[in-house]
Structures are given as structure tokens and as C-alpha cells.
């Protein structure tokens, strides 16, 4: 039931994106001193998430269904084009990665707030508080 409601699907996708981006940020921080390492990032959530995709195409809801699409998002990790390399070839700056980590935390908190608020509205609609 909850998977078919767009608001829950969007909040879940936002949390997934935040988790994937946090993994990339932590990998960048871990390799901050590795010579030749290029800073990486994931595209913004608005570019990855397509809200109309679920309404226009069939979806797989059971293993036996064919020709449907799963609701998984694909996150492509790419080198950060704005990063400037040091003399040793490393393009990771810890200040930038810390700012990205804060942005990821805010994104995850936003996903949780959307989910909790939607649950409250749903509970109110069915008469339970």
C-alpha cells in the first residue's frame, strides 16, 4: 500500500540518494591524501528522480510480472568537474567534502521529515492519531 503512494516513494528515493551520496563523500574523505585520486560526486536528486516515471509505465510488483520497470534509482558516480587538482594529482578538498556531508545530512533529515509528516496526515485521514 505505501509503495504506491507517490509521497512515500519520493521520500524513500530521497533517503536512498542521501545514503549513496554519503558513501561517495566518505570515500572522497578517506582518499584525501591518495596521489592521483579524483574527487567524485553523484548528480543532484532532482536530476535523478523522475516523479512521472511511475505513473506512465507499468511496474513490477511481483516476481512473475514481465516488461515492467522496478522503482530502483540508478546513481552514477562521476568525477567532480569543479574540483581542482593538487600538484600530486589529488582533487579532494576536505572543506568541500565537509560541506557536502552537511548537505547530505540535511537531505536525509528532509526525507525523514517528509515521511513522518505524510504518516501523520495518513493517520489523521483514517481517524487514528
Residue-wise pLDDT for 87-115, tens only, equals 888 989 999 999 999 999 999 999 999 99
Helix axes 94-125, 6-30, angle to 10 degrees: 160
Length reported for the chain: 129
Give the CA angle between residues 114, 9, 17 to the nearest 5°: 80
Nearest to 79 by CA among 49, 37, 34: 37
Range in 2-11, 15-24, 64-73, 85-94 the model is least confident about: 64-73
- Residue 41 three-state SS: strand
| Pair 11, 108: CB distance under 8 Å | no
Amino acid at each position: 500500500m505505501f509503495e504506491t503512494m507517490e509521497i512515500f516513494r519520493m521520500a524513500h528515493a530521497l533517503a536512498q540518494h542521501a545514503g549513496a551520496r554519503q558513501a561517495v563523500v566518505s570515500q572522497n574523505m578517506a582518499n584525501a591524501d591518495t596521489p592521483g585520486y579524483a574527487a567524485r560526486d553523484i548528480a543532484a536528486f532532482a536530476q535523478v528522480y523522475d516523479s512521472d516515471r511511475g505513473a506512465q509505465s507499468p511496474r513490477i510488483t511481483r516476481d512473475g510480472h514481465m516488461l515492467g520497470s522496478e522503482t530502483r534509482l540508478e546513481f552514477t558516480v562521476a568525477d567532480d568537474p569543479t574540483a581542482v587538482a593538487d600538484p600530486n594529482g589529488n582533487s579532494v578538498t576536505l572543506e568541500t567534502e565537509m560541506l557536502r556531508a552537511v548537505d547530505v545530512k540535511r537531505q536525509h533529515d528532509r526525507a525523514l521529515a517528509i515521511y513522518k509528516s505524510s504518516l501523520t496526515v495518513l493517520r489523521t485521514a483514517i481517524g487514528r492519531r
